[in-house]
Chains A and B, each alone.
Chain A
Amino acid sequence: MRRWLALALLCALPLLAIAQAIQPLPFRDHAEEVRFQKLSAELRCPMCQNETLADSNAPIAHDLRRQVFEMMQAGKSDAEIKAYLVARYSELVLYKPPVEPKTWLLWFGPLVVLAIGGVVVAVQVRRRARTAPAVAAPANDTEDDW
């Protein structure tokens, strides 16, 4: 019995780490908390750059969460809070970069590559369709021509 208890406690240890990572903030209501969580998930921790402010346990993430919270309490809009952080930490703090000429390649590059691929496939298919009726394909054609 005692062994099981120890095991259960051991399993619960990671929960302690989680409990420490999220410091309790005195939210006024649930809506405010939801807004805070959403906003901090859209912001990048400048220290550990693959994590959002919401996820990161770095000291700077803690400080910036506090800052975001205080600005929310002061009645600032999401856009104002983001602008405040961008002015200090550059656009890198935005997890979702804004759509602007500088980031067009980032946003639309994959689409362009996909479009090029689509065009290539379409051209190939059409070319083959044009030549196919001339030679009736045998049923057991295992020959790959490309």
Chain B
Amino acid sequence: MSRFLPLIAFAALVALFGFGIWWNTGHDQHEIVSPLINQPAPAFALPVLGDETRKVDKQSLLGKPYILNVFGSWCIECVHEHPTLSGEVKQLGLPLVGFNYKDDPADAAAWLSDHGNPFDVVIADRDGRAGIDFGVYGAPETFLIDGKGVIRYKHVGPITPEVVAKEIRPALAALAKEGG
């Protein structure tokens, strides 16, 4: 028995390291699972891009689910997800709220007119304070917020058609099931 002990120990180490490799390749190591999921979205009141006198707050968006997309004109991946936003995400039939994160209003406006504006409304978080409340640490990030103002889903990184099909649609179906 004790002759096999080294072999057993070796096999145990192989299993441990194998698990480590499998675990680390199975998910995006950079993604922080938001502790805000299934928590009420933080209260915010942010000016509308291009119209600083108008403000959109959390209350005014209650009633039906919406998608909040964090973007910036400085963000390279935002360009890559843009076609999906104006395509697959738009087809979901939900209000699409743009969350212009740490951006110059003029740059943001130019970016939107260059690429097209898929958003129903764009709110501007110039100094990134509201972003901190949402646990935002980069762009793009996308939230699904239900009619009661609860964050139901978050995606870090660009939205792809695959993400829409495999994550956002099921999350919406779950919402519809409970009558949200």
Chain A positions within 8 Å of B, measured between CB atoms, are: 46-47, 49, 59-60, 63-64, 67, 86-90, 92, 120
If A49-B30, A63-B128, A67-B132 touch, does A87 touch B35 (CB 8 Å cutoff)? yes
Interface stretch (choices B58-66, B133-141, B161-169): B133-141
List the A side residues contacting B133 at CB < 8 Å.
88
- Bound: A49/B32 CA distance, A: 10
Q: Summarize A's interface: helix, strand, loop or mixed.
A: helix
- Bound: A67/B136 CA distance, A: 14
If A63-B128, A63-B132, A67-B132 touch, does A89 touch B137 (CB 8 Å cutoff)? yes
- Bound: A64/B102 CA distance, A: 13
Interchain Cβ contacts under 8 Å between A and B, 17 examples: A49-B30, A60-B136, A60-B137, A63-B102, A63-B127, A63-B128, A63-B131, A63-B132, A64-B132, A67-B129, A87-B35, A88-B35, A88-B132, A88-B133, A88-B135, A90-B32, A90-B33
List the A side residues contacting B137 at CB < 8 Å.
46-47, 60, 89
Q: Nearest chain-A residue to B35 (Cβ)?
A: A90
List the B side residues contacting A46 at CB < 8 Å.
32, 137
- Bound: A49/B137 CA distance, A: 11
How many residues in B have their beta carbons less than 8 Å from beta carbons of A? 20
- Bound: A87/B127 CA distance, A: 20
Is there an interface contact between B34 and A90, defined as CB atoms closer than 8 Å? yes
Q: Summarize B's interface: helix, strand, loop or mixed.
A: loop
- Bound: A132/B129 CA distance, A: 72
If A49-B30, A59-B102 touch, does A89 touch B128 (CB 8 Å cutoff)? no
List the A side residues contacting B5 at CB < 8 Å.
120
Is there an interface contact between B128 and A88, defined as CB atoms closer than 8 Å? no
- Bound: A90/B137 CA distance, A: 12
> How many whole Å from B125's CB to the nearest CB in chain A?
11
Is there an interface contact between A60 and B35, defined as CB atoms closer than 8 Å? no
Query: Out of B29, B102, B127, B135, which one reaches A89, CB within 8 Å?
Result: B135
If A47-B137, A60-B137 touch, does A92 touch B128 (CB 8 Å cutoff)? no
Q: Does B109 contact A (CB under 8 A)?
A: no
Write the B60-86 contact mask toward A (1 if CB under 8 angstroms, else 0): 000000000000000000000000000
- Bound: A121/B135 CA distance, A: 49
